[in-house]
Amino acid sequence: MDIIIIGCGKVGVALAEDLVQEDHNVTMIDTSPERLQTLSEDIDAIKLVGNGASIAMQMEAGVQTADILIAVTGSDEMNLLCCLIARKAGKCHTIARVRNPVYSNEINFIKQTLGISMIINPELAAAMEISRVLRLPSAIRIDPFSRGRVELLKFKVKPEFRLSGKSVREIDNQIGGTVLFAGVERGDEVTIPDGNFVLQDGDLVSFIATPKNSVGFFHNLGIHTNRAKSVLIVGGGTISYYLARQLASMHVRVKIVEKDRARCEFLTENLPGALIINGDGTDRRLLMEEGLTSTEAFVTLTNMDEENVFLTLFARENCGAKLVTKVNRIAFDELLSKLDLGTLIYPKYITSDYIIQYVRAMQNTIGSNVETLYHILDGRAEALEFVIREKSEVTDIPLMNISLKKNLLIACINRGGVIHIPRGQDSIQVGDTVVVITSQRGLHDIRDILKK
Amino acid sequence: MNYSIVFYILGWILNVEAAFMLLPCIVAVIYGETAGWCFPIVMGISFLIGTPLVIRKPKNTVFYTAEAFVAVSLGWILLSIMGGLPFLISGYITNPVDALFETVSGFTTTGASILTDVEVLPHCLLFWRSFTHWIGGMGVLVFILSLLPSLGGGGTHMNLMKAESPGPSVSRMLPTVKSTAKILYEIYIGLTILQIILLLLGKMPLFDALTITFGTAGTGGFAIKNSSMMDYSPYLQNVTTIFMILFGVNFNAYFFILIRKFRQAFGSEEVRSYLLIIAVSIAIITVNIMPMYSGLSESLRHAAFQVASIITTTGYATANFDEWPELSRAILVLLMFIGACAGSTGGGIKVSRVVILMKTACKEMTQVLHPNAVKKVKMDGKLVEHEVVRSTNVFLVVYLVIFAASVLLVSLDNFDAVTNFTAVAATFNDVGPGLGMVGPVGNYSAYSNFSKLVLTFDMLAGRLEIFPLLILFSRDTWRKF
């Protein structure tokens, strides 16, 4: 497909990298020649210098024949204008990043009247991801499928769970097959486990289950899964704003520590339920005074990755709270994942995940398409959700008779709202939603699961 | 809320109170009074509860403003409950609410009494009653601070001091809070001893000199005679007048005198305003009451004593000012609200707050006339920070709300408006006597238990400057996060 990306900031580059890897023809537009020059040559794309909202520029980039235009410049209005012009000039789908909270309640109106296919708000998406995790603090990460009917949860195996040395089959028998282990990360190794796989302490285990069963599973391990009732947030940026708003509706007590006085005043005006503290989040005394030791969750959302990581490490030593850390730069992610920082949130990942997901869904014209996509297992595997719209080679055949690709797992089948953890005798039918976990990138169609 | 450290401090308060009770024990031994047995009993109880609490220093030394405020207000309540036990055990006060009222009145240096006849009390109880004034005047926590090794982080002591010391802001005279607390107590003890000597020179019996001085130093007002100070010689009354005024001065001034910075000592705007208010009030009242007395010197003596007694919120009386002309009565009621200087042992709104409020009002007027004018409130030539001005305004608002609510609640007893109004004014400002039934020759015994509890709350709120006590009622205080 032909894809135009306007704006080559962090997200634009990440998107281009991913899309090029999936064999799309990418054209990148940015106003700054220096920025385009510094992009590494690994991104095999056309790079144009100019104003992306200019019709001449868009024509040069081939907007008339392009399939998708993605506007991810720093300015919301610029992004919307780019999309609007592209809609008039060509017939492509348009995706815009709009992050100003003022527009967040008007997204649907904007989308409909301007004919934009998708509007992504990275901060809102990140806040939603955090609030999901705070609802079930035992999990490091929760990704919903099928509008929340199924979840992919990740947790760390600790000695007190007494899971070490048990095989996946044993655990399965013990809890009655209500969850499915989708992946295990041990050190640098990522495995999609079979029944004989033996767990160890320190493993990061991802599993798929319905929300009810996942709570039951944690109960079985003797973990309290009560949702956090108090949250201390450091950094009063846009993510904290969205997060506090969502938490307030869940009746969670929220305290936000923010350095900038004016920002504090904005927050206290717009978040009547939250307690806004004006102060430096790295002030140890302030954190202690505001109850770091007694909070149930501690979320670091400052703009400095170093501060976030540092604060989380400090909190880990001083309290038993659920920890959430925001990381902007992903260059050192292997290192960070070794530090046991609780839940890591990469806003940049979230944005590109959402867009890639849309691109894949769009690309697919053959009847089944990708509904949802997540990078899981440290970005080395993907969880995809397909909707089966028509008969194909994979439908109506018992799964044990299908020869699947290596490192691929059919994790669950949603049939008319009922979630099945599939066994060998089950088969995929038209109308099902299927979640597939795989370490193979670039799955676009349900038929891609077959070994070729 | 770090409960372990709050309990640790409460333990210390109990132990220190038990130690203080040694003095009335000695008095009981000297006078051979059997009622004195109540003190060793209460001391035993205090030690039994207090010692286990202080035996181990808590591991969790997290101690911030919230802990300080809770420790101070709970400390004062505990102090009053234990301090009231001797009255109950000895049987001189039978109603527990009365005993609480009397002791709170003592510790908060109010001097409002529910006793109709104080002269029947044995010496040891009279001594204890006056001694509570002396303890409460400078503050128990400040006393403990000057003795105790550091509790926790650096802010610990300052927070406690802030919560207990009267006035809009606390200034430390010496680099450490501990040494500041020590010097405060040294000044306090020094002035106390000086007054005792001067009273003894005027041929006052030792016991009277001690108790009257305790009442003066703490600006309390419990007398050991039903006639308060009326029966003492003019010399003794004048000495008391002067010392009442002295104890109402900001103690910083004495510190500056000690370190020989006289200009700062006498240049303080607050002290000057305080002395000016006293001088003007005395002048007006002297003229106003002249027809009632046999000459200038007598009316001046009475006017000066009453003005000093009321503005410093002491509450002694040499004359029944309830019978004075309306103008004089009105002035005295107004003086109740103004109160003494911040950083003294007196109560009321405090002169420094009144000065700040007046200056804010003036500033507002300038602002009306010159809308674009840039003006700041200054005191002693220094800028008063916006935060202080704001908290002063808020203090006044909360003060008025509590005042109004108290008058309303006390009115349930169906006494006349003057009695109710001045009863609340006299307790909330920690003065003692009001007008009408609670005037200098009356007392608070007629009020119902409920009203007494309301007034008890007012006394504590007045002494601790409202907020430490109010946060006890906030759910946020008790929640873990």
pLDDT of B170 higher than 90: no
Q: Do A288 and B155 touch (CB under 8 A)?
A: no
- Pick the closest to residue B321 from B464, B409, B432 (CA basis): B432
DSSP E strands, B141-251: none
A285 inside 8 A of chain B by CB: yes
Using an 8 Å CB-CB cutoff, list chain A residues near B64.
288-289
- Pick the closest to residue A440 from A388, A393, A387, A380 (CA basis): A380
Domains, in order of start, for chain A: 2-120 (3.40.50.720), 126-220 (3.30.70.1450), 230-345 (3.40.50.720), 366-449 (3.30.70.1450)
Q: Which residue, chain included where needed, has tokens 């869904």? A: A361
Predicted confidence (pLDDT) per residue in A320-364, tens digit: 888 999 988 767 777 887 787 888 888 877 888 788 877 876 765
**pLDDT top residue among A250 and B190:** B190
Q: Are A373 and A427 in contact (CB under 8 A)?
A: no
Q: Are B441 and B320 in contact (CB under 8 A)?
A: yes
B61 inside 8 A of chain A by CB: no
B62 inside 8 A of chain A by CB: yes
B95 inside 8 A of chain A by CB: no
Q: What are the two backbone dihedrals, phi and then psi, of residue A278, each rounded to the nearest 5 degrees?
A: -90, 110
> In terms of CA atoms, which chain A residue is nearest residue B66?
A289
pLDDT of B79 higher than 60: yes
* Assigned domain for B115 exists: yes
> Exposure string (b/e) for B34-44, b if CB count within 10 Å is 16 or more?
ebbebbeebbe
- Pick the closest to residue B93 from B82, B105, B104, B102 (CA basis): B102
Share of chain B above pLDDT 70, in %: 96
Question: Which residues, at least 6 apart from A35, have a Cβ–Cβ distance to it below 8 Å?
Answer: A8
Q: Is B386 exposed, middle or buried (0-12, 13-18, 19+ CB in 10 A)?
A: exposed
Averaged pLDDT, B40-49: 93
Predicted confidence (pLDDT) per residue in A138-155, tens digit: 788 888 777 777 888 888
> In terms of CA atoms, which chain A residue is nearest residue B60?
A293
Q: Taking all residues of chain B, what is their mean pLDDT, rounded to a whole number? A: 89
* Assigned domain for B24 exists: yes
pLDDT of residue B152: 53
* Assigned domain for B87 exists: yes
pTM of the model: 0.78
Task: Kindly state the greatest CA–CA separation across chain A.
Answer: 65
Using an 8 Å CB-CB cutoff, list chain A residues near B66.
289
Q: Are A77 and A52 in contact (CB under 8 A)?
A: no
* Assigned domain for B430 exists: no
Share of chain B above pLDDT 90, in %: 56
Q: Are A27 and A45 in contact (CB under 8 A)?
A: yes
Closest chain B C-alpha to A289 CA, distance in angstroms: 6
Closest chain B C-alpha to A77 CA, distance in angstroms: 38
DSSP character at residue A411: E
Closest chain B C-alpha to A294 CA, distance in angstroms: 6
Q: Do B62 and A293 touch (CB under 8 A)?
A: yes
Task: Please state, in angstroms and rounded to a whole number, the distance separating the CA atoms of residues B190 and B207.
Answer: 19
Q: How many CB atoms lie within 10 A of CB B312?
A: 34
Domain hosting B94: range is 3-176
Which of B65, B153, B480 lies nearest to residue A291, judging by beta carbons?
B480
* Assigned domain for B31 exists: yes
- Helix B417-428 to helix B449-463 angle (10° resolution) is 40
**DSSP labels, B25-36:** HHHHHHHT-GGG
Q: How many CB atoms lie within 10 A of CB A118?
A: 20
- Pick the closest to residue A119 from A89, A82, A158, A88 (CA basis): A82
- Pick the closest to residue A27 from A86, A80, A68 (CA basis): A68
Query: Pseudo-torsion of CA B67, B69, B74, B77, nearest 10°?
Result: 170
DSSP E strands, A301-421: 322-326, 343-345, 369-376, 381-387, 408-415, 418-420
ipTM: 0.70
* Assigned domain for B271 exists: no
Predicted confidence (pLDDT) per residue in A194-230, tens digit: 778 888 888 888 888 888 888 888 877 777 667 788 8
User: Is A277 strand, coil or helix?
Assistant: strand
Q: How many CB atoms lie within 10 A of CB A369?
A: 20
* Assigned domain for B48 exists: yes
In chain B, which among 15-54 make CB contacts under 8 A with chain A? none
Closest chain A C-alpha to B332 CA, distance in angstroms: 44
Task: Please state, in angstroms and rounded to a whole number, the distance separating the CA atoms of residues B473 and B481.
Answer: 16
Task: For chain A, count helices (H), then strands (E).
Answer: 15, 22
The encoded tokens of residue B320 equal: 């029944």
A230 inside 8 A of chain B by CB: yes
Using an 8 Å CB-CB cutoff, list chain B residues near A293.
62
B388 inside 8 A of chain A by CB: no
pLDDT of residue A38: 81
B153 inside 8 A of chain A by CB: yes
Predicted confidence (pLDDT) per residue in A380-401, tens digit: 777 888 888 888 888 888 888 8
Predicted confidence (pLDDT) per residue in B442-481, tens digit: 889 999 999 999 999 999 999 988 888 898 888 888 877 7
pLDDT of residue A369: 65
Averaged pLDDT, B159-182: 76
DSSP E strands, A336-427: 343-345, 369-376, 381-387, 408-415, 418-420
Q: Are A233 and A261 in contact (CB under 8 A)?
A: no
Which amino acid belongs to residue A224? H
Q: Are B110 and B432 in contact (CB under 8 A)?
A: yes
* Assigned domain for B11 exists: yes
Query: What's the structural domain count of chain B?
Result: 1
pLDDT of residue B264: 80
Query: Pseudo-torsion of CA B406, B408, B412, B416, nearest 10°?
Result: 100
Task: Please state, in angstroms and rounded to a whole number, the distance separating the CA atoms of residues B53 and B44.
Answer: 14
pLDDT of A291 higher than 80: yes
pLDDT of B244 higher than 50: yes
